[in-house]
Amino acid sequence: MKKVSIVIPTRNRAELLPATLESAFAAASDAEIIVVDDASTDDTEAVCRGTPGLTYIRLREQKGTSTARNEAIRASAAEFVAFLDDDDLRLPGSIDRQLAILDRAGESALICGRAFIGEPQYSLPTGWLVPDQGVVGDAFWQLLEANFIVVSTVVARRRVLLDCGLFDPELPTLEDYDLWVRLAEKYRFEYLDEPVAVYRARSDVSGQKTSDRAVHDQIHKDLHRRLLALPRAAEAPARWRRRVHRKHMAIIYDSLVYDAARSLLTGNVEAARSWLIAAMRMKPWHPKAPGSLLWLHLRKKHLQYEPSRVPTVPVMSIERRLG
């Protein structure tokens, strides 16, 4: 029996999958690689069947990432499960280093680490690292404030994943955040303060961005309220829950303005406008997004014809602060 099962859900990423698989084989010395194909229509099956040493499971109908990951977890035979998205990369030996910490930690549910941000086209590291810091021990309230866990850095005990009910297939997004909070309610976490993966950054044209941000934002709000109703949170004073919810929403708001700033820096004015509108829907009373949106409207013609000459504007202060 292998020490760890590396779970890779995939759909229509045949051109990216070989590099992801290569990184998975190099990340652990005693691992089984399980790829669950969520009814791909490209050459994913040929790529997987042409790669020796992995277990390939194909779903007949598209079921979503949660179902794909759950199928792999149930099919795994190892004590530990590592997660890797089909467009991300694992660094050599990284899973072995995390397993050594989990072995010493006793009953901790999982260990996560830091990830290089990779540029969208080739996943080459940009030099940026996330998160700034992690949590060792009780991570419940910190996670309720903000999700600091990159899914492709996680190694977890298989039995605790099963105990907490795995990923929720009813959630079309944020299913990983939901599971981390539910795990943190009951178990300790570990953290390796070094890079263990390369996380492929979103681009304005990638499939990683939701096509309907309003729906996504509503799901996010509803999910966070549901997480605040978990028994451990419900037992806390109401003022704690209100404070955590406000802080969580403020972080999401800032991330939307950050995405707008990043789009503006690359000359994508329409994407910047969509992020700012999404931020306004979340916090209509906050002046940052409306002010930046007004600035975009007044400077639209200039930005369309001379994107390389975009001056420093209020929306870009988020880029500097968060970057």
Strands 89-90 and 54-58 come out as unpaired
Q: Tell me the average pLDDT across 163-177.
A: 95
Q: pTM of the prediction?
A: 0.84
How does pLDDT run across 78-102, given as a tens digit for each residue? Answer: 999 999 999 999 999 999 999 999 9
Q: Give the tens place of pLDDT for each residue, 26-39.
A: 999 999 999 999 99
Q: Which one has a higher pLDDT value, 264 or 249?
A: 249
Q: Which residue has the higher pLDDT, 166 or 205?
A: 166
Distance, CA of 90 to chain centre: 14
Residue 55, classified by CB atoms within 10 Å of its CB into exposed (0-12), middle (13-18) or buried (19+), is: middle
DSSP 309: G
Distance CA 154, CA 238 (A): 31
Q: What is the pLDDT of residue 50?
A: 95
Confidence bin at 323 (pLDDT 50/70/90): very low
**Distance between first and last Cα of the chain:** 43
Residue 38 and residue 63 in contact, taking contact as beta carbons nearer than 8 Å: yes
Residue ranges of E strands in 3-145: 4-10, 31-37, 54-58, 80-83, 89-90, 110-118, 125-130
Cα separation, 120 vs 206, in Å, equals 8
Contact 158, 81 (CB under 8 A): yes
Does residue 318 register a pLDDT over 80?
no
3-class state of residue 242 by DSSP: helix
**pLDDT over 70 at 315, yes or no:** no
pLDDT confidence of residue 107? 86
Predicted confidence at residue 115, as pLDDT, reads 95
Which two structure tokens, joined as six digits, stand for 222? 């509803």
CA 321-293-212 angle, to 5 degrees, is: 90
* Paired sense of beta strands 125-130 and 110-118, if any: antiparallel
pLDDT digits (tens, 9 = 90+) for 41-56: 999 999 999 999 999 9
How sure is the predictor about 133, in pLDDT bands with cuts at 50, 70 and 90?
confident
The CA–CA distances, whole Å, from 91 to 23, 28, 113, 155, 263 equal 6, 10, 11, 14, 29
